[in-house]
Chains A and B, each alone.
Chain A
Amino acid sequence: MSSPGVPLLEVLNLEVSYGGIAALKGISFAVEEGEMVALIGANGAGKTSTLKALARLLPARGSIRFRGEELAALPSHALIGRGLALVPEGRGVFARLSVAENLSMGAYSRSDPAGIVADLERVHELLPRLYERRRQLAGTLSGGEQQMLALGRALMGRPKLLLLDEPSMGLAPLMVHQVFETIRAVAATGVTVLLVEQNARLALETASRGYVMESGRIILADSAALLLADPRVREAYLGE
């Protein structure tokens, strides 16, 4: 689809404000096909606002080009059909539906039964726990399992780009480790990932590139390895 040289996602001068207070002051960045990009920063830096604006959950100004198409005019429910899937902050599983029903909701916008069956198998292979728990109500899963389910559900839409909003939030350290293992495995299957994460070290250790946000602006952009070594990042975000 996308011609060489054109990034999968290209954001230009994205602005978001909440009742006159600017949360995003015109940020620009790009995500290339196949890479995993992390967006890090402190609380209130504008990371989640960025993802919400990309998912069209917030009114925003500026341009969002995805696979050459302008998204800014599309409603949020049209995005999954274009290949853009959001895993919302706080996971957002359908608590009173079973794990299997949650996964099938992920394929709601699709009409290729054979492809859906194949993708369900793929998701079960990647996340065997979901298969074991397929009849359990999603609300009764542990936090980590719910995060896996939210990830699996997003994959059922067969996305090109996954937007992950704070996947480590509220999880026990061991679970955080498992969730990030899974994210690496998903990325390895060729899905492009844009990751918003407060745990800067983990995010930069997982991603290939990173952007550092501060008060609604991107203040640093570099490869993850260089950001990890950057003294400013080390001091402000890695607690050194």
Chain B
Amino acid sequence: MSVPKRNVRLGIALIAVVLSALPFAVGLGMGNAWVRVLDFALLYIMLALGLNIVVGFAGLLDLGYIAFYAIGAYLYALLASPHFGLHWPAWAVLPLGALVAGLFGILLGAPTLRLRGDYLAIVTLGFGEIIRIFLNNLNSPVNITNGPQGIARIDPIRVFGVPLSKPLEIFGVHLPGVYLYYYLFVLLALGIIFVTVRLEDSRIGRAWVAIREDEIAAKACGINTRNVKLLAFAMGASFGGVAGGLFAGFQEFVSPESFSLMESVMVLCMVVLGGMGHVPGVVLGGLLLAVLPEALRHGAGPVQQMLFGRVLLDPESLRILLFGLALILVMQYRPAGLWPSATRRREFSKPGP
């Protein structure tokens, strides 16, 4: 607790240097495709932090979380693309995405207030699928979402009128679009981390933990469990909505298949694997699970070439196999997650009953 102020400043400066230099190191060392992977990792980190509020803090198992990502993404796509001829600026659409996703969070939360565990998981799973199926089918009789074709030519995100999709020269330094998006995403991810850490430490955060532990006792302590649960759903959803809007502007294309159940499961894996309820763990989980499949995709072929002289197994199927194996190993040897909070580590290390 008594870290000298100078060390804190030094640490922050170090993190700032590393985060600013990262795209250059990755881009020059491994190519800009990997900076793109990094951009996606940051989006996943934002998603994982949002889901962590619902699952990690409040203990409400949500299997349809990707729906809020979809809502944010489609809202951006509809308001900033030639589809409706609307070209709203990102700084207006992104907060609106957070708001609308938050409202949908309440919409999902309100009828499920009495549900917990498996039952809640089933309802949220259904909700996620309903949103995806709606997006898939809302192209007739009135074409709203353009159905399975998705919406293309979405406006890139602009900061002070500068589109982040085009390379930029600053003081002779060449910054490709993926670098510019990286910096924007890093800033927003840091913002979300800050908000999450403050929330965890607040009255609301303690109320979330209390309802996670025992709802009746939480009520007896004077916690308005209904409002506190709805707030968890709304906060988590709004993070997802922001990430979704960023995704749409970054990809310049959205279609329903980006928001499948598999994506919800993936984000949940990030939270559980990293360390449920522990912000640094969740960030680590998001980063690893976003980067690992890509590393396996690109690495599986060449490694086989090197070992056996030819590619024995299709890298794509091997990737899923190894990914599954990695999940099993982590859960076997670190059941509380890769980087759990001190409390959870204690809980899992105590001998069984």
Closest to A78 in B: B222
* B225–chain A nearest beta-carbon distance, Å: 7
Given contacts A108-B207, A140-B350, contact A76 B219 (CB under 8 A): yes
Find out whether the CB atom of A57 lies under 8 angstroms from the CB atom of B219. yes
In the complex, chain B residues whose CB is within 8 Å of the CB of A88 = 214, 216-217, 220
A180 to B119, CA, bound (A): 38
A228 contacts B by Cβ under 8 Å? no
Contact of B216 among A57, A79, A105, A153 (CB under 8 A): A57
- Contact of A227 with B by CB under 8 A: no
Contacts of A154 in B (CB 8 A): 220
Contact of B222 (CB < 8 Å), options: A87, A96, A101, A109: A109
CA distance A85 to B220 in the complex (A): 6
CB closest residue in chain B, given A88: B216
Residue B209, interface by CB 8 Å = yes
Which residues 328-350 in B have Cβ within 8 Å of A in the complex?
Answer: 343-344, 346-347, 350
A95: which of B203, B206, B213 is its contact (CB, 8 Å)? B213
Q: Is the interface of B mostly helix, strand, loop or mixed?
A: helix
Q: In the assembly, what is the distance between CA of A105 and CA of B209, in Å? A: 10
How far is the CB of A94 from the nearest CB of chain B, in Å? Answer: 4
Residues on B with C-beta less than 8 A from A92 are: 214, 216-217, 220
- Is B317 part of the binding interface, using a Cβ–Cβ cutoff of 8 Å? no
Chain B interface size, under 10 / 10 to 19 / 20 to 34 / 35 or more: 20 to 34
**For residue B350, which residue of chain A has the nearest CB?**
A140
Task: Tell me the chain B residues, 194-235 only, with Cβ under 8 Å from chain A.
Answer: 203, 206-207, 209-210, 213-214, 216-225
Q: Of residues 300 to 353 in B, which have CB atoms within 8 Å of A's CB atoms?
A: 343-344, 346-347, 350
Query: Which of B221, B224, B346 makes the CB contact (< 8 A) with A105?
Result: B221
Interface positions, chain A 137-190, Cβ under 8 Å from B, are 137, 139-140, 150, 153-154, 157
CA distance A157 to B344 in the complex (A): 28
Q: Report Cα–Cα, A233/B222, bound state, in Å.
A: 37
Cβ of B207 and Cβ of A94 under 8 Å apart? no
Contacting B at CB under 8 A, from A57-99, are: 57, 75-81, 85-88, 92-97
B210: chain A residues within 8 A (beta carbon): 94, 97, 105, 108
* A46 at the binding interface (Cβ < 8 Å): no
A200 within 8 Å of B (CB atoms): no
| Closest chain B residue to A139, Cβ basis | B347
The interface residues of chain B lying within 8 Å CB-to-CB of A101 are: 206
In angstroms, Cα B350 to Cα A154, docked, is 28
Cα–Cα, bound, A9→B166 (Å): 72
Q: With an 8 A cutoff between CB atoms, is A106 at the interface?
A: yes
The CA of A25 and the CA of B59, in the complex, are separated in Å by 37
B217 and A93 contact, CB distance less than 8 A: yes
Task: Check B219–A108 contact: CB distance below 8 A.
Answer: no
Q: How far is the CB of B298 from chain A (nearest CB, A)?
A: 40
Does A94 lie within 8 Å of B343, measured CB to CB?
no
Min CB distance B158 to A, Å, is 45
Decide: B221 and A96 in contact? CB cutoff 8 A: no
* Interchain CB contact under 8 A, B217 and A94: yes
Contact bitstring A216-230, B, C-beta under 8 A = 1, else 0:
000000000000000
Known: A105-B206, A108-B206, A140-B350. A96 touches B220 (CB 8 A): no
For residue B219, which residues in chain A have a CB less than 8 angstroms away from its CB?
Answer: 55, 57, 76-77
Do B217 and A108 touch across chains, with their CB atoms under 8 A apart?
Answer: no
Q: Which residues of A contact B218 (CB under 8 A)?
A: 105
Closest to B214 in A: A92
A93 to B209: give the CA distance in the assembly, Å: 12
**Shortest Cβ gap from B207 to chain A (Å):** 7
Q: Which residue in B221, B224, B343, B350 is a CB contact (below 8 Å) of A153?
A: B221
Which A residues have a C-beta under 8 Å from some C-beta of B? 55, 57, 75-81, 85-88, 92-97, 101, 105-106, 108-109, 137, 139-140, 150, 153-154, 157
In the complex, the 8 A-B pairs of residues with the closest C-beta atoms, listed nearest first: A109-B222, A92-B217, A94-B213, A80-B222, A86-B220, A92-B214, A76-B219, A108-B221
B→A interface (CB under 8 Å) = 203, 206-207, 209-210, 213-214, 216-225, 343-344, 346-347, 350
12 of the cross-chain contacts (CB-CB < 8 Å) are A57-B216, A57-B219, A78-B222, A85-B220, A92-B220, A94-B214, A97-B213, A105-B221, A108-B203, A108-B207, A108-B223, A137-B346
Apart from A94-B214, A157-B221, list 18 A-B contacts with CB within 8 A.
A75-B224, A76-B220, A79-B220, A79-B222, A81-B222, A88-B220, A92-B217, A93-B217, A95-B213, A96-B343, A96-B347, A105-B210, A108-B203, A108-B223, A109-B222, A137-B343, A137-B346, A157-B222
